[in-house]
Each structure stands twice: as C-alpha cells, then as structure tokens.
C-alpha cells in the first residue's frame, strides 16, 4: 500500500530545481505534516474504503539517493479496530515498524525546472513490506512551487499487489477476522508529497 508511497523520489527533482544553488548543493527533506500517502481497499468486490498514513519522513541526498520512510503504525482507517488489525496482521509493526521506499535519481534531469513548471515522469521505486523488497513503478507529476520547494503528486494511482510481497495469507486473515467474503489484494496508492531544501 505504499507505492505510493512511491513517488517521493521525485523529490530528487528538488535537488535539481533551484536556480539559486547548484543541483547538488544541499539535501532535501520531506515536510511530513504537509504530505500524505493514501490507499484504497475494496471489500466483497464493491465496498471501497480510503485510508492513509499520518507519519512520513524522507530525504533526497546531494547525489540523488532518495529514501522515504512510512511509519506503518500510523495507518489511519478511521476505525480503531481496523487500524489495529492492519498493524498486527498485515504490517506486523512489532517486527517491521517502518515501510522503506528508496530510489536512485539523477538530479540533472530536473535542472531546467523553474518555479511554476511541472514535469510528468515514471519513477522506479524499491518498496519493502515485511522484509520483502520489490520494484514498483509510480507515475507522478513534479511541480516546482517555490525556489526551495517541490510538490510531488500522483498523476495516477500506483498499484501495490500484496501477493508480490507474499502477503496473500495476511489479506485472507484480515478478511476472515472481519467476517468478509474477500478483500481485493491490489491496493491503489496515491501520494501528495512536499519536499523542501535546507
């Protein structure tokens, strides 16, 4: 559910976006309170719910190395028991409290992006769920909304398939404990990420 997650690496653009300083001049930080990662789950084929993560952190280094950390324990479904089951059964936060997302980017790709400009791109991310790492592709739009700020938003939801991470049994267990016929194992994920320099 994270690929969402995903998009943060576009933050690398941050490094390249400033006209006042070299693209490799500084590190960029995710503004966690201003950012959001959400995902959609589908129950019994037609019941749709939107959830999100409330605790995010991330950086993009001077050489284009990007890392986003999603606090799995911060998952918010607006139902306490559902939050608890996701933490305990799906994410196993006692052993895997953080969902890391990483990418390697070339800051020079974004050197010409000026304030007010935007850029659509596909980014390859490495997402790790319960210790299993897989590549996930995210289509995002980068918007340079300030000299030292870049906004990264999903141009379309990224699809995280729990089966790719060996979480088939976890999805089945969630459905059974909730008395559902099924939970769709593919989760569309969207991001709204704000990166700032300095």
Count of alpha carbons within 13 Å of 139, Cβ hemisphere only? 6
| Domain-wise residue ranges, the chain | 5-197
Give the CATH number of domain 5-197; options: 3.90.1150.10, 2.70.98.30, 2.40.128.110, 2.40.50.150.
2.40.128.110
Cα–Cα distance between 26 and 105 in angstroms, integer? 15
The per-residue pLDDT for range 30-73, each reduced to its tens digit, is: 999 999 999 999 999 999 999 999 999 999 887 778 899 999 99
Look up the pTM and report it.
Answer: 0.84
The per-residue pLDDT for range 113-156, each reduced to its tens digit, is: 788 999 898 989 999 999 999 999 999 998 988 888 889 999 99
């Amino acid at each position: 559910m994270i690929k969402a997650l995903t998009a943060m690496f576009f933050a690398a653009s941050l490094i390249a976006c400033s006209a006042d300083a070299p693209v490799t001049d500084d590190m960029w930080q995710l503004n966690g309170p201003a950012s959001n990662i959400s995902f959609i789950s589908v129950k019994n084929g037609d019941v749709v719910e939107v959830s999100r993560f409330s605790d995010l952190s991330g950086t993009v280094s001077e050489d284009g190395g990007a890392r986003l950390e999603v606090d799995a324990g911060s998952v918010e479904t607006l139902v306490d028991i559902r939050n608890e089951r996701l933490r305990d059964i799906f994410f196993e936060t006692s052993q895997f409290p953080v969902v890391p997302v990483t990418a390697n980017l070339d800051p020079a790709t974004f050197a010409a992006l000026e304030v007010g400009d935007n850029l659509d791109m596909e980014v390859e991310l490495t997402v790790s769920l319960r210790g299993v790492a897989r590549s996930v592709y995210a289509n995002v739009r980068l918007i340079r909304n300030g000299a030292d700020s870049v906004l990264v938003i999903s141009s379309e939801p990224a699809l995280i398939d729990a089966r790719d991470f060996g979480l088939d049994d976890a999805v089945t267990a969630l459905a059974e404990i909730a008395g559902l016929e099924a939970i769709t194992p593919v989760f569309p994920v969207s991001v709204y990420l704000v990166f700032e320099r300095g």
